[in-house]
Structures are given as structure tokens and as C-alpha cells.
């Protein structure tokens, strides 16, 4: 059995978004917030699809046959710092490295949008690190429950995800502070950010 997130779910969300936006046409600020929230939901679904799904469940007999002779290659976790990063660089898997670095960058933007004046930067960074830890913990849990390591829980993924997200957050905070004194940009930002 395979549990997965399908493209039909994305199509359904898009259609519902279009229908709801028709009802919100007259209130631009409400419509802008709606699209920000809708895009956040799509991002969360994409994040789950990339990091957690599909989850494979095999019958015990099938799993035993798959593991025969390759059991040592079934890695449920990787806890040696920088081992995966060195491997990515050695194997030329730069896209994997960049993808892990950028994975939580959109989440930084959404956290900045939703909590701009309410949370200090340290609290935002703690939330980003927590999300990264939870992704790796869920990957490990799904591996243990299914008996099949579809995704390896990796300490380097945590480092890459968190450092990319923190860098994005710092850039956004600096960008917002730079534009704070420009009235036109302030109005634009205030229409996106919750007060």
C-alpha cells in the first residue's frame, strides 16, 4: 500500500481558491490576504509531498525479500554531521544540496508575513528549527512504522533546511527595515502583513 498526496488535491485547492476569490473581488485587502493564506496552504502541501510522501507499506514477506542482500543499505537515519553534505558534493548532487537549503525559505516569508510585529526574530528562528526537526522526526517515524526507509532522517538536512530558512528570514527582516521609511512601500507591505 502507498499513501501519497496527488495532483487532484492541488487542482481542487486551486478551483476552490478561484471560486472564493470571486466572492472577495470587492475587498482587495481581504482578497490579498486570502491569496497569501491559500498560497501558504499550497506550500504546506508541497512541503509534505516533498519531505514525507509517499509512504510505502509492504507485506512482511515482500519487505523481507526486498531487504535480502541489501539490508545494510536500508538507512533509516543519518546522524553524522556533514556526511551527507560531503556526499552531495562528491557525487555532484548540487541540486539536492540547494533544494535542502531552500526548502524552508518560503516558510520564513510566511512566518514574517503572519507574525511581523508580534514575534521577535529569535522566536521565528526557533519555530523554523522546530519545523525542520519535526520533518526529520516524521521521516524517521514513517520509516520505522512502515519498515521501509522511503526518506532518510538526516542531521544534515536539518542543518541545511534551518540555515537556509534563517538566512531568508534575516534578509526579509533587513529588507523590511530598509523599506520602512518609504511611504509607498510601507503601504504595500502593510496591505500584505497583518498588523
What is the C-alpha to C-alpha distance for residues 137 and 151, in angstroms, rounded to an integer? 11
Q: Which three cell numbers stand for residue 181?
A: 521609511
pTM score > 0.85 for this model? no
Question: Which residue(s) pair with 77 in the sheet?
Answer: 153
Secondary-structure percent of the chain, ordered helix, strand, coil, rounded to 5: 75, 5, 25
| Full DSSP string of 117-150 | TTS-HHHHHHHHHHHHHHHHHHHHHHHHHHSS-S
Domain range enclosing 10:
2-192
Q: Are strands 55-56 and 77-78 parallel, antiparallel or unpaired?
A: unpaired
Are 5 and 56 in contact by the 8 Å Cβ rule? The answer is no
Domain count, the chain: 1
What is the C-alpha to C-alpha distance for residues 118 and 70, in angstroms, rounded to an integer? 51
What is the residue-level pLDDT of the chain in tens, covering all 195 positions? 777 877 777 778 778 877 777 776 666 566 777 788 889 988 999 999 999 988 888 888 877 777 666 555 567 889 999 999 999 999 989 999 999 999 999 999 999 989 877 899 999 999 999 999 999 999 999 988 888 888 899 999 999 999 999 999 999 988 888 877 776 666 666 666 544
Amino acid at each position: 500500500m502507498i499513501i501519497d498526496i496527488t495532483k487532484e488535491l492541488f487542482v481542487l485547492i486551486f478551483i476552490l481558491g478561484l471560486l472564493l476569490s470571486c466572492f472577495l473581488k470587492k475587498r482587495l485587502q481581504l482578497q490579498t490576504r486570502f491569496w497569501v493564506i491559500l498560497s501558504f496552504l499550497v506550500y504546506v502541501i508541497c512541503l509534505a509531498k516533498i519531505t514525507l510522501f509517499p509512504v510505502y507499506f509492504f507485506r512482511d514477506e515482500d519487505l523481507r525479500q526486498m531487504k535480502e542482500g541489501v539490508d545494510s543499505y536500508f538507512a533509516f537515519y543519518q546522524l553524522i554531521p556533514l556526511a551527507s553534505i560531503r556526499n552531495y558534493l562528491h557525487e555532484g548532487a548540487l541540486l539536492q544540496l540547494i533544494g535542502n537549503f531552500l526548502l524552508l525559505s518560503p516558510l520564513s516569508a510566511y512566518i514574517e508575513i503572519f507574525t511581523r510585529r508580534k514575534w521577535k526574530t529569535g522566536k521565528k528562528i526557533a519555530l523554523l528549527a522546530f519545523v525542520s526537526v519535526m520533518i526529520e522526526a516524521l521521516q524517521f517515524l514513517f520509516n520505522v512504522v512502515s519498515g521501509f526507509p522511503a526518506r532518510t532522517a538526516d542531521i544534515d538536512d536539518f542543518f541545511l533546511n534551518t540555515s537556509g530558512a534563517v538566512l531568508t528570514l534575516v534578509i526579509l527582516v533587513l529588507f523590511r527595515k530598509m523599506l520602512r521609511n518609504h511611504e509607498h512601500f510601507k503601504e504595500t507591505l502593510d496591505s500584505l502583513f497583518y498588523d
